[in-house]
């Protein structure tokens, strides 16, 4: 066991203040400084909160053996009820895009609250119209009509409905290992058994093989659009991806056998990079080729940008742009409001017109406060250079994690783009057998004890999901890398 592990109590004591951690020996990791001091916590006790959670809230996923009681946030930092500081590398499940309690977003919300909290869109109000125009201006092609909602699940539900209305066809295709939400409709679209209940679902929805260059049957070291490539050997000729063609053949097989005669589909759903599924990236040109096949059969192409949008992938504002495609429908949520309940669907005028077949309105979608917040987030992304930060800091993070993969046997794969990163843990690099839950959990708990919050994902729960607010620094990354290395050493030595 390393000296750092034996002296972990030092780090716990140091979190009692908001100041940076001061090392007392060379093996201890210094947390980057923060000049923000949280308010003194005055709410219910930890024990009382646990009692209420167990007795008055529906059963829900809770992180860590001893769940964190978070009290306050500031940019990339979170503070618990005792004032301990944590570097947030998960951003409220990829939701806090520009930073916790960003001053400009706070100001926009406060100013709108003083004017008008709520009115449904049966009336006009300036905030939603100004915001809709500003958001549509971020979209390529003819993606110019916006429908606002409250969550990514709601936006994806509407996308299914709209695709079927527009095409007059019922069949929808998604990829295995995808997560698009957990409503009754979307449980059929989501192809991860850990998120599905034993109820009838998925009528008219079909899944194709997941085109995963690391864990799938085909793929290699030149297949992904990422600074970090899989360690598998690659037989692809220069400028071509043979793995892509094999996965496209599987997609065509679904259209040949699983949909009604003629192969027509209403739509195809795809994430630009799979989020809950473990930050899985598709081979280059996969979406370009499958989008073409769907359109040839009269269907529409739907990009789920709930996690990959708003500059997170670094090189582009939208994840789908990195694939060289323009979808027919784009859904977005999470980072769109920096944590405020807000989502949207953007499509073409022709497809949007299909919704006029019956009456429709949304009580809260596009309400004045959400519109003011969403508009401020767009401004901050530009003013703070969040996309550039995602590209520069994210690329550095991926490259350093890739070095760590070469150093540590149980890191099987590093992947992603910008600040959308996955680190897959394995027992054996050759067989790619997933790391057991006990070891994975012990490493995860240790990172939390050292002041670092990361997510978990993938079918086997063996992928560390790193999707921080897009305001982190290289110093934060260096701290995170040191913690991850030490946590692994602590657990496995």
What does the angle CA 364 – CA 160 – CA 295 come to, to the nearest 5 degrees? Answer: 135
Quote the pLDDT of residue 157. Answer: 96
* pLDDT tens digit sequence for 341-371: 999 999 999 999 999 888 888 899 999 999 9
> How far from 128 is each of 24, 371, 383, CA to CA, in Å?
53, 5, 21
- Token pair 């978990």: residue: 456
Quote the pLDDT of residue 361. Answer: 84
- Token pair 């429709």: residue: 360
Predicted confidence (pLDDT) at residue 99 exceeds the cutoff of 60 = yes
* pLDDT tens digit sequence for 299-336: 999 999 999 999 999 999 999 999 999 999 999 999 99
Quote the pLDDT of residue 185. Answer: 84
Quote the pLDDT of residue 202. Answer: 85
Quote the pLDDT of residue 233. Answer: 84
Quote the pLDDT of residue 240. Answer: 77
What does the angle CA 384 – CA 386 – CA 390 come to, to the nearest 5 degrees? Answer: 150
* pLDDT tens digit sequence for 450-484: 999 999 999 999 999 999 999 999 999 999 999 99
Higher pLDDT, 411 or 234: 411
Domains of the chain are 3-36+77-98+411-492 (3.90.1150.10), 104-383 (3.40.640.10)
Predicted confidence (pLDDT) at residue 17 exceeds the cutoff of 60 = no
- Is 433 within 8 Å of 427 (Cβ atoms)? yes
Residue 404 burial by CB count (10 A; 0-12/13-18/19+): exposed, middle or buried? Answer: middle
Average pLDDT value over all residues in the chain = 92
Mean pLDDT of the 126-137 span: 97
Quote the pLDDT of residue 237. Answer: 76
Higher pLDDT, 395 or 240: 395
Q: Report the distance separating Cα 208 and Cα 189, nearest Å.
A: 11
Quote the pLDDT of residue 263. Answer: 85
Mean pLDDT of the 160-174 span: 97
Mean pLDDT of the 173-182 span: 96
Quote the pLDDT of residue 238. Answer: 72
Q: What is the pTM assigned to this prediction?
A: 0.92
Quote the pLDDT of residue 235. Answer: 76
> Alpha-carbon dihedral of residues 111, 114, 119, 121, nearest 10 degrees?
-20
- Is 406 within 8 Å of 270 (Cβ atoms)? no
* pLDDT tens digit sequence for 25-44: 334 789 999 999 999 999 99
């Amino acid at each position: 066991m390393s000296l750092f592990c034996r002296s972990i109590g030092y780090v716990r004591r140091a979190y009692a203040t908001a100041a940076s951690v001061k090392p007392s020996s060379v093996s201890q990791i210094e947390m980057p400084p923060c000049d923000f001091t949280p308010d003194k916590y005055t709410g219910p006790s930890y024990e009382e909160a646990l009692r209420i959670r167990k007795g008055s809230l529906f059963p829900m996923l809770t992180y860590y053996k001893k769940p964190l009681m978070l009290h306050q946030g500031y940019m990339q930092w979170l503070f618990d009820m005792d004032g301990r500081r944590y570097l947030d590398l998960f951003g409220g499940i990829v939701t806090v895009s520009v930073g916790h309690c960003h001053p400009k977003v706070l100001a926009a919300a406060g100013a709108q609250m003083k004017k008008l909290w709520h009115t449904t869109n049966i009336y006009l109000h300036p905030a939603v119209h100004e915001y809709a125009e500003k958001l549509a201006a971020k979209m390529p092609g003819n993606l110019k009509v916006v429908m606002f909602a409250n969550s990514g699940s709601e936006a994806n539900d509407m996308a299914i409905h709209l695709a079927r209305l527009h095409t007059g066809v019922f069949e929808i295709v998604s990829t295995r290992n995808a997560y698009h939400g957990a409503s009754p409709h979307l449980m059929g679209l989501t192809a991860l058994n850990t998120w599905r209940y034993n109820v009838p679902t998925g009528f008219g929805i079909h899944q194709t093989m997941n085109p995963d260059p690391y864990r799938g049957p085909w793929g290699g070291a030149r297949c992904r659009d990422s600074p970090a490539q899989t360690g598998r050997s690659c037989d692809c000729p220069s400028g071509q991806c043979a793995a892509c063609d094999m996965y496209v053949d599987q997609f065509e097989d679904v259209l040949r056998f699983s949909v009604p005669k003629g192969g027509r589909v209403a739509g195809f759903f795809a994430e630009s990079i799979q989020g809950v599924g473990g930050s899985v990236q598709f081979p280059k040109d996969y979406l370009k080729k499958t989008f073409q096949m769907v359109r040839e059969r009269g269907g529409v192409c739907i990009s789920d940008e709930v996690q990959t949008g708003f500059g997170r992938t670094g090189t582009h504002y939208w994840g789908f742009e990195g694939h060289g495609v323009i979808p027919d429908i784009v859904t977005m949520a999470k980072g769109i409001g920096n944590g405020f309940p807000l989502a949207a669907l953007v499509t073409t005028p022709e497809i949007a017109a299909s919704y006029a077949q019956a009456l429709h309105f949304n009580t809260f979608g596009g309400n004045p406060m959400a519109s003011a917040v969403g508009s401020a987030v767009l401004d901050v992304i530009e003013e703070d250079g969040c996309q550039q930060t995602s590209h520069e800091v994210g690329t550095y993070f991926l490259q350093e994690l890739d070095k760590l993969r070469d150093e540590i046997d149980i890191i099987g794969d590093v992947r992603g783009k910008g600040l959308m990163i996955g680190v897959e843990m394995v027992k054996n690099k050759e067989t790619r057998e997933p790391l057991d839950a006990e070891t994975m959990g012990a490493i995860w708990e240790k990172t939390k004890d050292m002041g670092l919050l990361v997510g978990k994902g993938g079918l086997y729960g063996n992928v560390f999901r790193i999707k921080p607010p897009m305001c982190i620094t290289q110093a934060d990354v260096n701290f995170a890398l040191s913690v991850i290395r030490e946590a692994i050493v602590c657990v496995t030595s």
